[in-house]
Structure 1
Amino acid sequence: MARRESAGTGSERRLQWQRIVAAAAIGAGLAALGYWNSGRTLAAARKLNYSCNFSPKQMSDWTFPHAEDWVSKTEDGMTYLHMLRPRDPGVPRRPLQFARLTNVNVGSFDLSVKTRREGRSMIIVFNYVDTLHFYYTHVSRDRGTVQPVHNGIFLVDGAPRRRIAGLEAQPALPDTSWHTIRVVRNAETGLIQVYSDVQKGPLFSVVDHHFTCGQIGLGSFDETGDFTDFHLHSNDAGCTPKVPAARALLQWPQFQP
């Protein structure tokens, strides 16, 4: 009887050891990308902090639609991500030229990045589910009242992108200097806020529940520019992206430049 009890204990210990080894392997993978979970179990992997200046080594953290279009550059001691060329938007009309942080899905998050435009605008993609389902903020030299598809928050939901916020906002990137853009998302309440260093409060703000989990991306609709000093914090990482069931969409004019 004692032997059977001992054997059962040994089996449990082996199973526990296997779980520890598996958790350590997951942790090593996250650590390689600069993630840590600050005391939470690795199985949950809910808390994420990631920073990137796009050094050559960090470029492997990102997935690029066309690898030959993106390079790591250094200027005055600062390393940054440079877009060499634009690509045509997709049909239905939406941006496709953006790098995505590989294998990282977040629901609620707080993101900041410095960006510098070469043309008129840049974009930050978030809650990316797939190529037809995501949000992006378009940061531009133009007001939305001047260019209806510039400077705001946009939704791609299996159709041409459409504005959901920011029509009256001042330009987020008024010049070709570096500017800090911050995106704050609360997936539970639906709140999205976009900040620019051009003003104190949110530049764009909206409540929307279409997508509550997905990847982060950086790029441009159809131009080029640069990114550096990227920081992403989330207590809602490791979620599973889902395309929502069919629902009534917000009514907004469809603009096709």
Structure 2
Amino acid sequence: MVFDAGGLTMEAGSPLTGVTWQGAAPPRTDYELEVEATRLAGSDFFCGLTFPVNDAHLTLVLGGWGGALTGLSSLNGQDAFENGTASYVNYETKRPYRARVRVDGERVRTYLAGKPLHDIDTGRRRPSLRVEVMASRPLGVASFDTRARISTLRLRRRQPVFSADFASPADLAQMEFSDRSAWEQGAAGKQSWLELKDASDYRPPHRSPHSLALVRNLEVEDFALTVRAQQTGREYGHRDLCLILAWRDAAHFAYVHLASQPDEHAHNLFLVDGAARRRLGEVRSKGVDWGSDLWHDIRLEKEGAGVRVFFDGALALDVVCSEPLPAGRVGLGSFDDTGRFSELRIFADAANEAGKPPAFSAGR
């Protein structure tokens, strides 16, 4: 291999040549990778970009299996030739090609020359690596019996449009509450949180959660929300915490209800649309295990008409609405229980951060 002003040149190997990142551990989700690669000579893949996806890895192959195949290896144990991700591109020798990978939670999207290639739900299709590229972990690029140049390789963490650790009064000032007296700030060691400690003295116009904490001055349509949460109430079927989305006003919004046991009124995505909340998804076979004094990692993904929620990395809810939920505010809460929230992050490609009128009539 040779480094020069043009980048990194990888001579043809027997059969592979590659380079692997040796620095600090790269992010495993919520990031983008960009690579510009050129086939200089040879007829097999000139770019095998291996990257992390949560606790696994995946490889984007450009020009494999005779020089044209473009796909992802491997999914559910099948490589790009057989897993349905293959497309065929007439790659020209000595012409640079730019590819991009985006990892959002369980979802992997890839692009070539700005055009979408793949959109993969790795919660349903488990990523893995072919043995030949194991040495590329956690992040690397390789070529197969082909001389290639890598002129660009960039990694960018996706920056949240909103972030709060609830460690200072300024964090609390970013939230609007249905009843401020029901919430307080807490901390132990290095962890801080927003705590819903009592039932709220708030009665919504229609049957829906009572205790709400909305992010001020932020509207999003498609987004991902991550938060750590701890349920502090007693165990019973509807023991819950909630995530609020698509909030337009107190009579028009949606919420995710995460509960111990599912039924017609629990553990689902619900819509409040000028009437009492109604369920949007099918009743699931099981809820979530909150446990006692346990923190859980929760991720909500809203894209188009789909809403998915992961609880400690496992899919907890997966709902496809009849039409997309509108843009709106987001937040945290509970129907009528107690709990703690920490490390709230919201990721979105577009966000409206204009000032919003008070969400609650009392302006709390």
Question: Normalised by the shorter chain, which TM-score bucket?
Answer: 0.5 to 0.7
- Partners of 1:226 and 1:208 in 2: how far apart? 32
Task: Give the Å deviation of 1:159.
Answer: 0.6
Task: Give me the whole-angstrom Cα distance separating, in 2, the residues matched to 1:114 and 1:221.
Answer: 18
CA distance in 2, matches of 1:221, 1:89: 11
Matches within 5 A, 1:120-199: 120-144=239-263, 148-176=264-292, 177-186=294-303, 189-197=304-312, 199=314
Taking the aligned partners of 2:253 and 2:322, their CA distance within structure 1 comes to 12
Q: 2:340: which partner in 1?
A: 226
1:119-156 alpha-carbon deviations (Å, 9 max, x no partner): 21110000101001111000111122xxx311111111
Question: Helix, strand or coil: the match of 2:246?
Answer: strand
The amino acid across from 1:63 in the alignment is: E
TM-aligned CA deviation for residue 208 of structure 1: 4.1
Matches within 5 A, 1:16-55: 49-55=161-167
Where does the alignment leave 5 or more consecutive residues of structure 2 unmatched?
A: 1-158, 234-238, 355-364
Higher helix share goes to which structure?
Answer: 1
Tell me: CA distance 1:217–1:228, structure 2 relative to 1, closer, same or farther (3 Å): same
CA distance in 2 between counterparts of 1:98 and 1:213 reads 18
Which of the numbers 188, 208, 212 marks the counterpart of 1:94?
208
Q: Based on CA coordinates, which of the two structures has the bigger radius of gyration? A: 2
Going from structure 1 to structure 2, the CA distance change for 1:239 and 1:230 (only over 3 Å counts) comes to closer
Aligned to 2:23: none
User: Which amino acid letter does the alignment assign opposite residue 115 of structure 1?
Assistant: A
The amino acid across from 2:240 in the alignment is S
Normalising by structure 2, we get a TM-score of 0.48
Q: Quick check: which one's strand share is greater?
A: 2
Contact 1:172 1:198 in 2 (8 A): no
**Distance of 2:225 and 2:285 partners within structure 1:** 20
Structure 1 residues 229, 48: closer, same or farther in 2, change over 3 A? closer
Structure 2 CA distance for aligned equivalents of residues 162 and 83 of structure 1: 24
**Aligned pairs, number:** 188
Aligned counterparts of 1:220 and 1:208: Cα–Cα separation in 2 = 25
| Structure 1 residue 108: Cα displacement | 0.5
Deviations 1:25-67 (A, max 9, x none): xxxxxxxxxxxxxxxxxxxxxx952221111231111111222
RMSD: 2.1
**TM-score (normalizing by structure 1):** 0.67
| SS of 1:59 mapped into structure 2 | helix
**TM-fit CA distance, 1:75:** 1.7
Unaligned runs of 5+ in 1: 1-46, 241-257
CA distance change for structure 1 residues 165 and 206 in 2, over 3 Å: closer, same or farther?
same
Which of 1 and 2 has higher RCO (CA within 8 Å, sep 6+)?
1
Match of 1:28 in 2: none
Runs of at least 4 residues off by over 6 Å: none
Inter-CA distance 77–190: structure 2 relative to 1 (3 Å threshold): same
Q: Residues 92, 192 of structure 1: CA spacing in aligned structure 2 closer, same or farther, 3 A cutoff?
A: same
Q: What's the offset of the Cα at 1:91?
A: 4.1
Is the Cα contact below 8 Å between 2:161 and 2:351 reproduced in 1?
Answer: no
The answer to whether 1:68 aligns with 2:184 is no
Residue range with higher mean Cα deviation, 59-68 or 105-114: 59-68
Q: C-alpha displacement at 1:205, in angstroms?
A: 2.2
Q: What is aligned with 2:102?
A: none
Cα distance in 2, alignment partners of residues 168 and 208 from structure 1: 18
C-alpha separation between the residues in 1 aligned to 2:222 and 2:318?
Answer: 17
